[in-house]
Chains A and B, each alone.
Chain A
Amino acid sequence: MLAVVDIPAQPADPDADIIPSLMAGNDAALMSLMERHLSKIQALAYHMLGDAFMAEDVAQTVFLKTWQNAPAWVPGKARLLTWMRRVATNQCLDVLKKKRPILAETLPDMPSERPEAFENIVAGERKAAVTAAMDALPGRQRAALSLSYFQHVSQKEGAEILGISVVAYESLLGRARKALKKTLMLDERINP
């Protein structure tokens, strides 16, 4: 079923110039689309899934869906990149629903009597600690954080991608950041 997403009219689409060629099945237009957005879509999937290989699979799916659905694209109704981000986000949320929870062993060892502050963890383990903390977030919180922090989307666009209000989107963001600060023991107000 074509995903002509019900998103309110957007400002001018920066990809408007290649959409006609995409709709006509032009390979060069697909290459151009990849040059513009493959990094962003893969990065979104990477930050949502924490796995480079799965991120590539999601990115491939998003671009193929874009390619297949291009003939029925309605210009002016939504920005192409917003639509692609929405497809990527939904794809990742589906993956996360099926993913098994991360085992505690993936977190760096910390003495139980005196948990070590994040800033004291050696650099090589910090990425693993942050990845594990992100993995522990509920899917929609992780999606909101990935869109806002890593993709730099506006709160309006982020809310539209997730199909929620701006207030609900900001609530997801706040809860995600609070959970991460707690997990990483960054906030003395939460972890005195």
Chain B
Amino acid sequence: MTQDEFTKMIETYGVDPARWPADLSVQAQMFMTDNAQAAEHIMKADAALDAALNELSAPTPSDLLKKRILNTARPLAKTDVIPVRKTGTLNWRSVAALMLGTFALGFGGANLLPTNAPDIATTYAQSDTDWQSTAEDLGLSDTYAWVEGVSVDGT
């Protein structure tokens, strides 16, 4: 290993042999043995940087963090949400059936509305409730939850 190669390695990885690339470590050690003074001079600044970096010890994860992760993960257990589809495609048949059923109910329901029907926002709000009920009646709660991005209990 040449002096330039040794310098470049030290400037990239620091002075701790444990951090040196495995394929350079032996050659670097040999360079240090054969050129002790030069190696010490080359390593001086990076040794100081390594010592400075070693001041940055990371905190230990708290038990609170572990509990937070578990408490957030548990409601996301696989029985509560639609699993990620491995094929990446939608179950179009279920969505189509839901939409067809909803349209039929909405159309039929709209014909029963009084002439002084409430405003559109209220109508849509009612329709949302109707769609969820329709999905449940058709046994498509899971699909409704997946489409709407909610859990089965509606949260």
B19 contacts A127, C-beta separation under 8 Å: no
A184 contacts B52, C-beta separation under 8 Å: yes
Residues of B within 8 A of A24 (CB): 78
Complex CA distance for A46 and B61, rounded to whole angstroms: 11
> In A18-70, which residues have CB < 8 Å from any B CB?
24-25, 27, 30-31, 34, 38-39, 42-43, 46-47, 52, 55-56, 59-60, 63-64, 67-69
**A127 interface neighbour in B11, B45, B56, B58, Cβ under 8 Å:** B56
Complex CA distance for A181 and B48, rounded to whole angstroms: 9
Complex CA distance for A10 and B66, rounded to whole angstroms: 29
A42 contacts B58, C-beta separation under 8 Å: yes
A27 contacts B58, C-beta separation under 8 Å: no
Nearest CB of B to A95, in Å? 16
A131 contacts B46, C-beta separation under 8 Å: no
B62 contacts A39, C-beta separation under 8 Å: no
Complex CA distance for A25 and B18, rounded to whole angstroms: 37
A102 at the interface (CB under 8 A from B): no
**A34 interface neighbour in B50, B69, B84, Cβ under 8 Å:** B69
A93 at the interface (CB under 8 A from B): no
Dominant SS among interface residues on chain B: helix
A-B contact count, CB below 8 Å?
A: 120
Residues of B within 8 A of A71 (CB): 78, 83-84
A181 contacts B72, C-beta separation under 8 Å: no
Dominant SS among interface residues on chain A: helix
A38 contacts B65, C-beta separation under 8 Å: yes
Q: How large is the interface on A (under 10, 10 to 19, 20 to 34, 35 or more residues)?
A: 35 or more
A149 contacts B19, C-beta separation under 8 Å: yes
> In B31-80, which residues have CB < 8 Å from any A CB?
45-46, 48-50, 52-53, 55-56, 58-62, 65-66, 68-70, 72-74, 76-79
B49 contacts A186, C-beta separation under 8 Å: yes
Query: Contacts A27-B74, A71-B84, A150-B58; is A38 near B66 (CB within 8 Å)?
Result: yes
B21 at the interface (CB under 8 A from A): yes
A60 contacts B69, C-beta separation under 8 Å: yes
B52 contacts A149, C-beta separation under 8 Å: no
B11 contacts A177, C-beta separation under 8 Å: yes
Residue of B nearest to A156 (CB): B21
B69 contacts A148, C-beta separation under 8 Å: no
Complex CA distance for A38 and B59, rounded to whole angstroms: 11
Complex CA distance for A174 and B46, rounded to whole angstroms: 11
Q: Apart from A30-B69, A55-B58, what are 14 other A-B pairs with CB-CB below 8 Å?
A: A24-B78, A31-B66, A38-B65, A38-B69, A42-B65, A64-B73, A69-B84, A72-B84, A130-B52, A130-B55, A174-B11, A177-B11, A177-B14, A184-B52
Residues of B within 8 A of A (CB): 8, 11-14, 18-19, 21-22, 45-46, 48-50, 52-53, 55-56, 58-62, 65-66, 68-70, 72-74, 76-79, 83-84, 86
Residues of A within 8 A of B (CB): 2, 24-25, 27, 30-31, 34, 38-39, 42-43, 46-47, 52, 55-56, 59-60, 63-64, 67-69, 71-72, 118-119, 126-127, 129-131, 134, 148-150, 152, 154-155, 170, 173-174, 177-178, 180-181, 184, 186-190
